[in-house]
Chain A
Amino acid sequence: MDIKIETRNLNLYYGAFHALKDVTIQIKPQSITAIIGPSGCGKSTLLRCFNRMNELIGGVRIEGDILLDGKDIHRQGINLTRLRQRVGMVFQRPNPFPLSVADNVSYGLRVHGVRNGISVPEVVEHSLRATFLWDEVKDKLDSPALALSPEQQQRLCISRVIAIEPEVLLMDEPCSALDPIATGHIEDLMRDLAERYTIVIVTHNMQQASRVSSDSAFMLLGELIEFGPTLHIFENPSDKRTEDYVSGHYG
């Protein structure tokens, strides 16, 4: 079986606090994997391991392996810029930069250097089309991104990542700042994107996880309690704690 991202006995400490405990997980390519669990269980922490965002915080120690396409992302000499190009991230609160719409989308291109033969306006259009934002913003490419609606801003942030052709999309509660209709739109978009990208989504919303994901991981207090097909996790969990959580007995 194909595996895109894999962790082996991953432990993470914020100073003395043990935030991830022996997490071993295998994430399939071109599918949506949901990470669920109560607040503070380490979902975001796990997600941020995959593009090495945790090490921007002081005092973080990581043990164990994280493999992308079978290769350790902590190996000597790995190109961090390239890793983050391959593994893109969408944040909980839409965070478009205080630049124009077009400059937001082309930001990553400019970061990685525009290769010869690539037309920036074409990439901008293509990336905005991929999130179905193009028709709404094609006349306001030069206006400030902060003037868009929250949903449009989140789409823009997804376009911004897509513009640099990632392989993996990490999404940390991408809909929690959006209303139900906008949430539905973003979920449709995720299903569409899953045909090309490996998507890992953190969500508090049980229905969302069951609607969009093919695999689900349930975490509790830094431990990965159960991981498997979403249907199995929700209908017939093997662990009592998972059952309690998905049936709503936990916060």
Chain B
Amino acid sequence: MKQDRFIAFILLMLALSALSGLVLITVFIFKEGLPLILQTGFRDFFLSSDWDPKGEHFGILSMIVGSLAVTVGAMAIGAVFGLGMAIVLTQFCPPGLVSILKPLIELLAGIPSVVYGFMGVVTIVPLIRNHLGGPGLSVLAASIVLGIMVLPTVTSISVDALKAVPRAYWEGSVALGATKWQTTHMLMLKAARSGILAAIILGMGRALGETMAVIMVAGNALEIPGSPLDPVRTLTSNIALEMGYATGRHREALFATGVTLFVFIMIFNTTALAISRRSAGKGGGR
């Protein structure tokens, strides 16, 4: 009894210190970054693409656009392939094979991002440069690399969402004469809709937050991209590239970039959470 309470106390302390660590980081980022946003003004910070730390111009519009372009591109690729794989795995594969393939796909998440970036530099970038033109280091290259990187997230969560659909639905549909494919797109995808949406949004969060691989393949130019073949710099890349030598207001501006990123990711994650909560409440019936 006494021992139980002691262990519970220790665990509570550990949990609290982890939580307070998170709170401290958040407070620190906002404390360092927010004043600069306020001094610069929302307009000049968010809606200007004039980033010139020496001249004290801190407009991050081109990086916001860069991050969003790369994220949207990555999700177009990641969602199509990830959802496709989830459908094949859950609807058209013997269960035995699924229990081998799914862990394999999840293993992909464990590959360090620098390796993905490296693969992108040696394969995808030259392909784009030679066949589509431009420098190769581009929105497109980053989208493809990130699209592959988010596959495990999107696939794995979508598989779980599709597997959670009661088998009775599936049987009912098949008993009405529906083919597997009809059952999939008329019923299963609808029944698993919220889980799939959550998978895609969580994937977006990953794509937006990824840094190393993007730095290696995106080109990092400080311009609003005119086409998918143009190079871009994302919010994350900017922080990583300049943190080493930034001081004073420049350093604060990088924290302010972090604040922006933080807010974006919070929005994605709370949306995903809200969606999966809603579906849990609704699907709880039977």
> Which residue numbers of A lie inside 8 Å of B, CB to CB?
51, 53, 56, 58, 80-85, 88-89, 91, 93, 95, 97-99, 107-108, 110-112, 146, 157, 160-161, 164
Contact = CB atoms under 8 A, between A and B. Distances in A.
B190 interface: yes
A84 B174 contact: yes
Given A81-B178, A107-B173, 12 more contacts: A58-B94, A84-B177, A88-B176, A91-B168, A95-B286, A99-B190, A108-B177, A108-B178, A111-B173, A146-B286, A160-B176, A164-B177
B178 A93 contact: no
Given A58-B94, A111-B186, A146-B285, A161 B176 contact: yes
Nearest to A56: B174
Nearest to B168: A95
Contacts of A56: 171, 174
Interface residues of B, number: 22
Contacts of B172: 91, 95, 97, 157, 160
A104 to B, nearest CB: 9
A107 B176 CA distance: 8
B175 to A, nearest CB: 4
26 contacts: A51-B175, A53-B171, A80-B177, A81-B179, A83-B177, A88-B176, A91-B168, A91-B171, A93-B168, A95-B169, A95-B171, A97-B169, A97-B173, A97-B187, A99-B187, A107-B176, A107-B187, A108-B176, A108-B177, A108-B178, A111-B177, A111-B182, A157-B172, A160-B176, A164-B176, A164-B177
A56 B186 CA distance: 19
Interface in B75-91: none
* Majority-rule SS of B interface residues: helix
A146 B286 CA distance: 8
> Lowest 5 CB-CB distances: which A-B pairs, in order?
A84-B177, A95-B168, A89-B175, A81-B177, A108-B176
A183 B18 CA distance: 56
A9 to B, nearest CB: 25
Contacts of B191: 97-98
Interface string B256-286: 0000000000000000000000000011011
B35 interface: no
Contacts of A58: 94
B177 A112 contact: yes
A97 B177 CA distance: 15
Contacts of B175: 51, 53, 84, 88-89, 91
A95 B94 CA distance: 24
A53 B173 CA distance: 11
A53 B170 CA distance: 12
Contacts of A164: 176-177
Interface of B: 94, 166, 168-169, 171-179, 182, 186-187, 190-191, 282-283, 285-286
**Most-contacted residue by chain A among B166, B175, B182 (CB, 10 A):** B175
Contacts of B186: 107, 110-111
Given A110-B186, A146-B286, A95 B176 contact: no
Nearest to B175: A89
B281 to A, nearest CB: 12
B177 A82 contact: yes
A84 B183 CA distance: 14
Contacts of A80: 177
B190 to A, nearest CB: 7
A84 B283 CA distance: 27
Given A110-B186, A111-B182, A93 B177 contact: no
B190 A98 contact: yes
Nearest to B283: A98
A53 B174 contact: yes
Contacts of B174: 53, 56, 84
Contacts of B182: 111
Contacts of A83: 177
A107 B188 CA distance: 13
A148 to B, nearest CB: 10
Nearest to A98: B191
